[in-house]
Each structure stands twice: as structure tokens, then as C-alpha cells.
Amino acid sequence: MKRNYSRRAVVVALFGSVATGVFADAPLTSLRPMGRAQKAGAITPEMRVPLIDVIRASGVVGRVSAVLADATTGEIIDSSDGNEPLPPASVTKVVTALYALEYLGPDFQFETRVFADGPILDGVLVGNLILEGGGNPNLLTDDLAQLATRLKDSGLTAVRGKFYVYDGALPNLDEIDESQLDQSGYNPAISGLNLNFNRVHFEWQREGGAYTVMLDARSINFRPAVTVAKMRIVDRSVPVYTYRDGGGLDEWTVARGALGSGGSRWLPVRYPALYAGEVFAGFARGHDIALTPASEIALPPQAAPIAIHKSVSLHRMMQEMLRFSTNITAEAAGMTATKERTGQMRGLRTSALGMSQWAKKRAGIAPSFADHSGLGDTSRLSAADMVTLLNADGVEAVLNPILKVIPMRDADWRVMTDHPARVVAKTGTLNFVSALAGYIRTASGRKLTFAIFAADLEAREIGKASNEERPTGSVTFNTNAKRLQNKLLLRWAALNN
């Protein structure tokens, strides 16, 4: 099946590739001939083994909660420890997408606006210029370039006052989950004014015995250098990175021994409004509109906007979030939905609690969410409750079209392009946590709902204490968990056709 991705989706993929903080999946295609003796979708003897025995033989250490149900009747067909609450990881985003779409509507758009606080006389603003964020989690450098062009097109030629940024549409958070490593790009700050998923691109290149270091706000068409983040190379072996809050400035150091000949990665931004302000001011200068360095203001502007940028629709944003698992998108959408539901802005933990209460009322389940993205491992959800939510009235019609197609794989981990069943689902991956939940349509057209959660929480705690991005054993755990998920999908699609 051919998929057409928008240019924005390509950028979301670029930034979202580090969203879970683990590792890329194996290639989805193979040039080798398939050569399977067994017809795709056929029942094999091992599929008739009791589910608990399949799980025990999988090599997955810790706990596994797995449930399969009929999507039409809700009848539980297959289950093992279905009521065991475990961290759902990024499967949480499925709940968040439903929550946001039901309260904000599929056509909702975030707005980023520019205000003139004072009269404009012959193109000159006699007052201050204000860049206001409306909470858009997917605002890109290219979008700010377009917004600066609209500012120029409004007739503005000069600003006599100061340049301010306002980010009060959402709570200001330094990070989503405090247990993550400082350099985790998938754990950025959140505010009402965000840019590039609140990540800055760090690139280094060795030239002789010295390194050239670059920090920029790159997008598809632009790579503006930024000064709100600084990097210093130091002579040490560990830790690889250190972070210090420089008071309006992110101050990083990196171990020289870890750099090699060159490379790049995304680092989180802790002052997103100032980051966006610096980039926007650069584009304004390109239109001969000189602005002072950005400063934050506490109160929203009262004047009428003179330039506006609107995000893509929430439906499209949630589809891209589920495909690329961008954490900041989930948090911004979830908190904005809570704001709409309650009429008040709530902090991340309180908003997540509100989403838990909504899910209980919506489907009669009892989750405990610590956030809207699944990045925090203190969230708890059972496979049985996840399946119940997926089977609740009206849910499948909303989620099925925006979930990602999950390919079936053979024993050599090659995609089975000829498998007659279709799976759409959301994956969830943390170190020593792996989850998958969604819908199966069998060859006969029967609709099934499933959830598979696996976690070794003791190993995860040890891994976090090691301060390693990939703790010992995490690759093996997640590989075994993904293979178990695939084996269960093959089993369920064949036995329940």
C-alpha cells in the first residue's frame, strides 16, 4: 500500500524519531524472497498452545497483560493477567487522542499570533510587538518564517518599542518526566509557545584536533543558528552530557571522548518561548523589521492580532502523533482538552488525573495516568481496561482511521505483505516496557480488539539508576516483547477468523 506523507509529516517524523528514547525498529521490508512453506494467515499447531504457555516461552521477563476481545460483542476471547495494571507507555496517546478529539473537535486548530501593542503610523509600530503562542505543539521554524512574512505583508516596516513573547496558554513545564536523562530530546519543556517540538539541533564535526559545534533551529527550509542554548566540550569520559539552567539560557557540556569524528542529535529546550522569539526575530530582520531581543511577559496581549498562523487540524495532528509518537503533542493536546473541559488551565499531573476520571466515566475503566504521553512510568492501565475503552460506543470510528498499520512478520522478522489480516494499533516503548493496543480485522472481516502490555519494572528501576540511555538488557527485553506481540497477532488473526 502506497502512503503519501505531507511535508509536515516528514518533519514530524524527523523530530519524532527520538520520541520514545529507545531504538529504531527493524527494517519493514526485505529484498530476500519470502519463501514461506506456511501460507500467510494459516493456523499452525503452536497457535493452539494456551496463551500463558506462549507468554512463558517468549523470554519476556517481568509481567505481561494480554487480552483479545470481539469488537462487536465485547466478549473476551483470549486473556492472560488481563487485569494486571502496567505502564502503558505511548499507548497512552490513544486515550489522549480520543480525549482531545471529543472535547476540542477534529477541526480544532492551534493559533500562533502576532500583536501590535500600540498604534501603527505609516508602517511604524509606536509600541511593542508581541508573539503569542496558543499552545501549538507542532510549530516549526518554517511556520515562523511564514508568520514573519505575514507580518511584513500587514504593512509593518518598523517597531519603535520592545519585542515580547507570551506563552501563558499552557502551563510552563521544564520537562515532562523528571526521571529521564537531561539530554533526552523526547522529554522537552512545554509552554504555550513551542518550537520544533522544543528541541534544538546539536551538530559537531572534528577538524584536525578541534571540533566545530553548531546549535540551530533547523526545519525543512531553514537552519537558523540560535544563542538560547550553548554547548561546551570538556575533557572527561562520563557523564556524556551535563545541563545547567543559565537563567534564560540552556548551558550544556559534552564529553570530548564521546564525540568521535562527528555527528548530531536533538537536545531539549528548556526556554521554548525565548527560543521561538529568537528565531522569529531573525526572520523579521530578514524583512528589514528590526526587533529587540525577546523578553517574556506575564499577561496576554489585549490588542487585535496583525498576523496569525494556524496549525493543521486536530484530526491530522492526532494521526501524526500516533504515527510518530511525539510526546509534546500529546501533552499539549491533553492539557488543552482539559482546559476546554473544565474551563480552567490545569497542570500536567492534574490534567492527567482529569483524563483518568474522564476515561472512567467514558468507558467504566480505572486507569491512573501520570501524563498524556505515556513517558512517565508511574501510569497504570490494564490490558482489559484498554480493550474496554477501545470497544466503547463510538470509539472505533474515531480511532481506527488514525491508528498506524502494524505489519505481520514471519519467523525471520520479514514483513508478510500477503497476510490477509489487517492490524491498526499504537505501539508503546520505554526501556523494559513494551505495549501494543488496537484493532484486528481478520481475513473474513471479523473485527477484534486487543491490548498487550509487558513490563519488567525492577529492571527498569535499575536501568534508570545506571544513567544509561540503553541500559543493559533493555534491547533484549524490548526485542522479545515485540516478537511476542507479533506471535499473538498471528495467533489471534488465524484462530478467530
**Would you list the domain boundaries of the chain?**
7-106+313-495, 110-311
At 260 the three-state DSSP class reads coil
Q: What is the mean pLDDT of residues 36-63?
A: 89
pLDDT exceeds cutoff 50 at 44: yes
Q: What is the mean pLDDT of residues 189-201?
A: 98
Q: Which residue has the higher pLDDT, 81 or 24?
A: 81
Residue 432: what pLDDT?
A: 98
C-alpha distances (whole Å) from 357 to each of 213, 406, 429, 480 are 47, 30, 24, 33
Q: What is the pLDDT of residues 313-352, one digit of tens each?
A: 999 999 999 999 999 999 999 999 999 999 999 999 999 9
Q: What is the mean pLDDT of residues 86-106?
A: 98
Q: What's the rounded Cα separation, in Å, for the pair 14 and 10?
A: 6
- If pLDDT is split at 50, 70 and 90, which confidence band does 194 have? very high
| Superfamily, domain 7-106+313-495 | DD-peptidase/beta-lactamase superfamily (3.40.710.10)
Residue 35: what pLDDT?
A: 43
Question: What does the mean pLDDT of the chain come to?
Answer: 93
Residue 209: what pLDDT?
A: 83
**Of 485, 494, 407, 422, nearest in space to 89 by CA:** 485
Residue 67: what pLDDT?
A: 98
- % of residues, the chain, pLDDT over 90: 90
Q: Strand order of the sheet with strand 241-245?
A: 229-234, 250-255, 241-245
pLDDT exceeds cutoff 70 at 92: yes
Q: What's the rounded Cα separation, in Å, for the pair 102 and 110?
A: 16
C-alpha cell at 16: 519524532
Residue 39: what pLDDT?
A: 82
Q: What is the pLDDT of residues 115-134, one digit of tens each?
A: 999 999 999 999 999 999 99
* CATH architecture for segment(s) 110-311: 3-Layer(bba) Sandwich (3.50)
Q: What is the pLDDT of residues 71-90, one digit of tens each?
A: 999 999 999 999 999 999 99
Euclidean distance between the first and the last CA atom of the chain, given in angstroms as a whole number: 22
Burial bucket for residue 195 (CB in 10 Å: 0-12, 13-18, 19+) = buried
Helices then strands, each counted (H, E), the chain:
12, 20
pLDDT exceeds cutoff 70 at 20: no
Q: What is the pLDDT of residues 254-301, one digit of tens each?
A: 999 999 999 999 999 999 999 999 999 999 999 999 999 999 999 999
**Of 316, 197, 359, nearest in space to 266 by CA:** 197
pLDDT exceeds cutoff 60 at 60: yes
Q: Hey, do 7-106+313-495 and 110-311 end up sharing a CATH topology, with the first three levels equal?
A: no
Q: What's the rounded Cα separation, in Å, for the pair 408 and 406?
A: 7
pLDDT exceeds cutoff 60 at 462: yes
Rounded to two decimals, the pTM is 0.92
pLDDT exceeds cutoff 50 at 36: no
